[in-house]
Chains A and B, each alone.
Chain A
C-alpha cells in the first residue's frame, strides 16, 4: 500500500510530494527517451538512406552509384550532400563507367485507401520511364497492393514513353492508365483487373509528375552527368 493512503498529511505537504513525484518521474523519463533517441538516431538515418538507395537501384537498372540533386531557383539542378528539401530532389544514377543512366524522382498522389508514394526512374536520353517502385501504400491487400508486385503491371514501366513535345517544355503524350488489355500506345499503362482504381491512381500520379519533371530533367541533362563525374573523382 502507498504511504499516502495510510498517513494523510497536510494539504501543502501533499501537493509538494505530488510535485516531487511528477517532476522526478518526468526527469527520469525524459532522460531515458533522450538516451534512446541519441543511441538510435544514427542507425535510423543509415537505414532510411539504405532503403532509399535500394529503391533507386531498383528503378534505374544497371547503375552502381547515385548522386542526389536539388532543384534550385531558375530550374537548375545542383549536387547535394545529405537530405534535400522534399519535393525538389532528384536522384541521378550512373553505370559502372560513369555514364548517366537516368534520374529517379519521387511522386505521390491519392490512391484508393490513402496517399500512394512512388519512385520512378526517367531516362532523359531515351525519353522513357525505365523503372517503378512503390515506396508507401495502404492499398487493399490482395487487390490494390498488386501495383507493388504484379509482374505484368510493373512491365508497363520498363519503357513507358514520356517524349517531349517540340517546344521541349511539355509532353507529347501524358502517361495514362487504360482498361486491362487495351494498351495500344507506348505511353499507356495497362491496368490490373480487379484493381482498376489503384492502377488509375498510379497513372494519374505518373502523368502529373512526369509532366513537371521530364522537361526539367531533359533541359538539365548535362548538369547531371558533369557534376557527378567531379564528385566521384573526389
Chain B
C-alpha cells in the first residue's frame, strides 16, 4: 500500500479523493468573474496582459518540464492559475512583453527552481510580481483609468511596446485609491471600492466579485477560509483602532479593507496551499501576520501598497509557524515537547 506518496499533514488523514486538477479547475471558475470584470472595465489592454501572463506561465512550465525530462504538468491547471493571478495583479496598461517576462520568472524562479508544484516556498505569481516591481518600478505604478470610452476598440499606447524598450507614457493616467490617499490624502468612498469603479490592477478593483469567488471556493471546501478571514479581520481591527486614535491621519477601516490588492491577495494568493501553514491555529497566526504587515506597510511605509510583500514574508515563515505550534502527540506529557 505504500507505493503512493505519503501525505504529511495533521489529522484527519482520510480524505475524499480530490485531485489537484479538480481544485485547480474550481479556482479557475472562481477567478473567471474577476477576470471578466477586469476586461469589461479596462478593455482589451487588460485582456492582452492576462493572455500574456497565462501564456508565459504555461509555456515556461511546459518547456522546463521537457528540459528536465519530466512529464509535462501543464494539464493540472496550476501554471494557468499562476499566470492568471499574476495578470490580475498587474496594471491594465502594463506592456505585454514585461508581463510575459513576469510569467516566465514566476514559474522558473517562483516554482520550478524549488521542484515544481507542491514544493514552492512562495506564491509563484507574487514572486513574478515582486521581480517585476523591482525591475520596472515606473511601468508597474503607471495606472490606466477604468471605463474609458473606446476601451474595446483600442489598446493603451503602452500595451504593445517593442520588447526591451521603454513604454511610451500614456496620455491619460489615473491614481489608485491607495496612492491618492498616500500622496494627496484623498479617501475614495467604500461603495466605489466594493463595486470596482476605480483605478487599479486589472483584477483587484471589484472587491465583491473576489469575495464571491472566495465564498464559492470555501463552500466547496477547496480553500482554507480561515486565512482570508484572519487577514481581513486583522486589517479591519488594526486600522479601526488607528482610525479611532486619529481620524485625520489614518484612513477608515472599510477603505483599508476594500482598496488595493488586499481582497485579491487574501482570497486567492495567501491561500496558496503549498506556501501556507497546515495547522488550523498556524493558519490564523499566518493571517494575522499578513494583516499586520499590510497595515504597517500601507500606513508607515514608503510604498502605497504592501499586500504583495506581506504575503511573501508570511510565506517565508509559514513552515516555522507550523513548527512553533506543533500539536502535542496524544499521550505524551504536557511539558515534554514531542519531537
Mask of B110-146 contacts with A, CB within 8 angstroms, 1/0: 0000000000000000000000000001100100000
**Given known A142-B137, A143-B137, A194-B138, contact A112–B183 (CB-CB < 8 A):** no
B95 to chain A, nearest CB (A): 16
Are B302 and A179 in touch, CB under 8 angstroms? no
A197 to B141, CA, bound (A): 15
A213 to B183, CA, bound (A): 31
Are B183 and A197 in touch, CB under 8 angstroms? no
Are B183 and A179 in touch, CB under 8 angstroms? yes
A194 to B141, CA, bound (A): 8
Are B137 and A194 in touch, CB under 8 angstroms? yes
Contacts of A193 in B (CB 8 A): 138
Between A and B, how many residue pairs show CB distances below 8 Å? 12
| Total number of A residues with any Cβ neighbor in B under 8 Å | 8
Are A197 and B302 in touch, CB under 8 angstroms? yes
Q: Which single residue of chain A is at the shortest CB-CB distance from B135?
A: A142
A106 to chain B, nearest CB (A): 27
A173 at the interface (CB under 8 A from B): no
B182 to chain A, nearest CB (A): 10
A196 at the interface (CB under 8 A from B): yes
A50 to chain B, nearest CB (A): 35
Contacts of B138 in A (CB 8 A): 143, 193-194
Q: Which residues of B from 271 to 326 have beta carbons under 8 Å from A?
A: 302
Are B302 and A112 in touch, CB under 8 angstroms? yes
Contacts of A143 in B (CB 8 A): 137-138
Contacts of B184 in A (CB 8 A): 179
Q: A143-B137, A179-B183, A193-B138 are in contact. List 4 more A-B contacts (CB 8 A).
A: A142-B137, A194-B138, A194-B141, A197-B302
Which 8 pairs show the lowest CB-CB distances between chains A and B? A194-B138, A143-B137, A197-B302, A194-B137, A194-B141, A196-B183, A179-B183, A112-B302
Chain A residues within 8 Å of B, Cβ to Cβ: 112, 142-143, 179, 193-194, 196-197
Q: 12 interchain pairs (CB within 8 A)? A: A112-B302, A142-B137, A143-B137, A143-B138, A179-B183, A179-B184, A193-B138, A194-B137, A194-B138, A194-B141, A196-B183, A197-B302
